[in-house]
């Protein structure tokens, strides 16, 4: 059958009464192809790569600038609690958080990290694992990898700070006891209280100045009280020295109430002011892949094909967050040697692996890149922040033609700090500029409506630009483009029967409206998205309502079941499209008339 304009009729055919059908399916726009690299924020791009296998790789690359920083964080807010990566990123979105990746391995029962964690707010949260590489983030933004060792000591001192008692060691920070006799240090970063349990002594220290624990920076304080069981509250400005087994007597004997104590959280080789997150193994060093770093991991841990994540830095200073899908996402997964070669191929001069398997996660501006049906909660993560204004992706094509499909849109603008925000709209090519918003704002989101009818906006390419000027700081700018295109509207699809002479046959009526001439393509796909038939291929139509009738034939057979109808209209503005689903019921053959005898 061939298409026709108004009136909705096909020459030579009488239209039978429509068959009973379910409520019409929802109509949705056909999205344009995504660019190879999608902008997350200015200078930060996301790319999805499909390698042979198949193997899907997700790559975040952030160009070097003073606006991009990396920060290790506690996903659940404490070393003893786990939390969702998406939730941890969302909590930091207003402050510039745009991308999050899972961090270190962790104890599955007690949640504490396996290696070192040093964050900005909490300081030194957990001790290093000496056999494994940790990722260090320098104050200048440079990344490094190191195997570190805790050299923790405490000692009673007099009012002038002179040593009085013996220098004693502590072997762990913010974790439960792993041996029958050891000394541990707890800070508020562990949680609300120390682990419960007896056979221990705990001295509560009121820290001078209330400063957090920082690697290689001694702190002093006064013993407030001593307890002989766990569950000691951890308040801001306090720390707790805990002795278990034979070490409990040292705490009881030396740390009496009122005693002064100095705590030395030594981490050999740790750079001043750096942040850190544990992980391992080292994958790339000096631009060369390190496929066999080992670092105490088992052969199965290194050689298993699974989902994996890594953090790296290229020679030009750009950051790399890289995640590989696993079998749960339909990929084969990768081994650690393959991960090392992948990071080198992507241009890393340095790269360190993070936790793998079910913990391997990458969240990009609120969207899970590595898709899990139920993402695992984790203890540590690394958040990429962009310290400038940003504009979230807008509807790529707004079609204010009255059919209720993307007739209007909105732009979400995020200011990471207070300042004056100006949002303007300009037609690409110049000649038409509109100011949509201009006022002082606090840190957070501002939603700016995009209504082409109210503004009003003619069809064409437009760009929305946001400029944030914080007081006493340089302005930052971000932009997003979109199209206003009224070409295609009002797609309606329904099964019908059409009579030809004395017979009727099943059909599908596909009607749509063009507001300007266009070359139209109409496709039929099955419920798995496979193309089954092209009914029109770039056929020119004038403006008005058009009807295309499909005879329900696919490869000479009558189509049955769920099918998808896509209509695309090509003009100088691009290729707008609409799509909807249609369910085709089986057709019973016509009854034969009984013959007459003679």
Q: How many CB atoms lie within 10 A of CB 173?
A: 26
Give the pLDDT score at 34: 83
Task: Write out pLDDT tens, residues 182-210.
Answer: 999 999 999 999 999 888 999 999 999 99
Q: Tell me the C-alpha distance between 447 and 417, whole Å.
A: 16
Residue with tokens 């906006």: 457
DSSP per-residue codes, 532-596 = EEEEEEEEEE-SEEEEEEE--EETTEE--EEEEEEEEEEBTTB--EEEEEEEE---PPPPPPPP-
CB 545 within 8 Å of CB 6? yes
CATH code of the region 4-32+487-584: 2.60.40.4070
Cα Rg for the chain, rounded, in angstroms? 32
Give SS3 for 66.
Answer: coil
Domains 4-32+487-584 and 390-484 share a fold: yes
Listed in sequence order, the residues at least 6 apart from 187 whose beta carbon sits closer than 8 Å to its beta carbon are 122, 123, 124, 125, 173, 174, 212, 213, 234, 239
Q: Which two tokens stand for residue 325?
A: 């899908």
Mean residue pLDDT of the chain comes to 92
CB 116 within 8 Å of CB 127? yes
Pairing mode, strands 557-558 and 503-514: unpaired
What single DSSP character describes residue 211?
P
Among 2.120.10, 1.10.3470, 2.60.120, 2.40.50, what is the CATH number of 150-267? 2.60.120
Q: In what order do the strands lie in the sheet with 117-119?
A: 123-126, 117-119, 275-278, 134-137, 143-146
User: 581 burial class (0-12, 13-18, 19+ CB within 10 angstroms)?
Assistant: middle
Q: Tell me the C-alpha distance between 338 and 331, whole Å.
A: 14
CB 483 within 8 Å of CB 573? yes
CB 219 within 8 Å of CB 124? no
DSSP per-residue codes, 330-397 = TS--B-HHHHHHHHHHTTEEEEEE---GGG--EEETTEESS--SSPPPBSEEEEEEE-S-EEPPPPSE
Q: How many CB atoms lie within 10 A of CB 559?
A: 20
> 381: closest CA among 56, 189, 43, 99?
99
CB 382 within 8 Å of CB 70? yes
> Is the domain 390-484 a CATH 2.60.40.2550 member?
yes
Chain centroid to CA 42: 16
Cα Dmax for the chain:
130
Q: Tell me the C-alpha distance between 539 and 362, whole Å.
A: 43
Give the pLDDT score at 590: 63
Task: Write out pLDDT tens, residues 94-118.
Answer: 999 999 999 999 999 999 999 999 9
- The domain segmentation of the chain, as residue ranges, is 4-32+487-584, 43-145+273-386, 150-267, 390-484
Alpha helical stretches, state H, 397-497: none
CB 499 within 8 Å of CB 426? no
Give the chain's residues under pLDDT 70. Answer: 1-24, 589-598
Residue with tokens 């290093």: 128
DSSP per-residue codes, 94-157 = TTTEEEEEE---B-TTT--BSS-EEETTTEEEE---TTS-EEEE-TTS-EEEE---EEEEEEEE
Q: Which two tokens stand for residue 46?
A: 């996301």
Q: How many CB atoms lie within 10 A of CB 291?
A: 17
Give the pLDDT score at 556: 87
């Amino acid at each position: 059958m061939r298409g026709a304009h108004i009136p909705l009729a096909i020459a030579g055919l009488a239209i039978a009464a429509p068959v009973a059908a379910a409520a019409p399916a929802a109509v949705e726009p056909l999205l344009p192809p995504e660019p190879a690299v999608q902008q997350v924020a200015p200078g930060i791009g996301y790319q999805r790569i499909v390698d042979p296998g198949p193997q899907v790789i997700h790559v975040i690359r952030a160009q070097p600038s003073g606006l991009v920083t990396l920060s290790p964080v506690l996903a659940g807010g404490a070393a003893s609690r786990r939390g969702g990566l998406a939730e941890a990123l969302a909590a930091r979105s207003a402050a510039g958080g745009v991308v999050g990746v899972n961090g270190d391995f962790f104890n599955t029962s007690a949640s504490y990290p396996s290696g070192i964690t040093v964050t900005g707010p909490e300081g030194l949260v957990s001790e290093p694992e000496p056999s494994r590489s940790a990722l260090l983030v320098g104050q200048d933004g440079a990344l490094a990898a190191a195997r570190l060792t805790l050299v923790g000591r405490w000692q009673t001192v007099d009012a002038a700070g002179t040593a009085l008692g013996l220098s004693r060691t502590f072997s762990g920070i913010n974790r439960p006891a792993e041996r029958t006799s050891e000394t541990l240090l707890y800070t508020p970063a562990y949680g609300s209280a120390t682990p419960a349990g007896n056979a221990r002594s705990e001295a509560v220290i009121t820290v001078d100045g209330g400063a957090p624990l920082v690697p290689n920076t001694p702190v002093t304080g006064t013993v407030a009280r001593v307890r002989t069981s766990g569950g000691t509250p951890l308040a801001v400005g306090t720390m707790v020295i805990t002795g278990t087994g034979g070490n409990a007597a040292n705490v009881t004997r030396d740390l009496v109430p009122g005693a002064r104590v100095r705590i030395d959280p030594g981490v050999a080789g740790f750079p001043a002011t750096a942040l850190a997150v544990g992980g391992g193994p080292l994958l790339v060093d000096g631009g060369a892949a390190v496929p066999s770093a080992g670092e105490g991991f088992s052969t199965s841990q290194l050689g298993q094909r699974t989902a994996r994540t890594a953090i790296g830095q290229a020679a030009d200073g750009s950051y790399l967050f890289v995640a590989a899908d696993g079998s749960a996402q339909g990929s084969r997964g990768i081994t650690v040697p393959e991960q090392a070669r992948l990071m080198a191929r992507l241009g890393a001069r340095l790269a360190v692996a993070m936790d793998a398997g079910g913990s391997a996660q990458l969240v990009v501006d609120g969207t899970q890149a590595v898709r899990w049906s139920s993402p695992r909660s984790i203890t540590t993560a690394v958040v990429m922040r962009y310290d400038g204004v940003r504009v979230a992706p807008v509807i790529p094509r707004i079609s204010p033609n009255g059919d209720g499909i993307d007739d209007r849109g909105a732009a979400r603008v995020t200011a990471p700090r207070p300042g004056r925000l100006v949002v303007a709209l300009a037609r690409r090519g110049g000649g038409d500029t509109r100011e949509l918003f201009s006022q002082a704002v606090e840190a957070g989101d501002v939603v700016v409506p995009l209504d082409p009818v109210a503004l009003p906006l003619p069809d064409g390419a437009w760009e929305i630009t946001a400029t944030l000027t914080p007081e006493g700081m340089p302005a930052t700018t971000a932009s997003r483009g979109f199209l206003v295109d009224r070409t295609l509207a009002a797609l309606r699809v329904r099964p019908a029967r059409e009579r030809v002479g004395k017979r009727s046959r099943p059909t599908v009526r596909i009607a749509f409206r063009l507001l300007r001439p266009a070359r139209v393509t109409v496709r039929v796909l099955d419920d798995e998205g496979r193309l089954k038939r092209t009914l029109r291929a770039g056929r020119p139509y004038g403006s008005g309502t058009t009807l295309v009738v499909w005879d329900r034939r696919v490869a000479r057979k009558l189509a049955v079941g769920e099918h998808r109808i896509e209509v695309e209209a090509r003009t100088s503005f691009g290729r707008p499209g609409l799509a909807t689903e249609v369910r085709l019921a089986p057709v019973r053959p016509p009854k034969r008339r009984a013959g007459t005898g003679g």
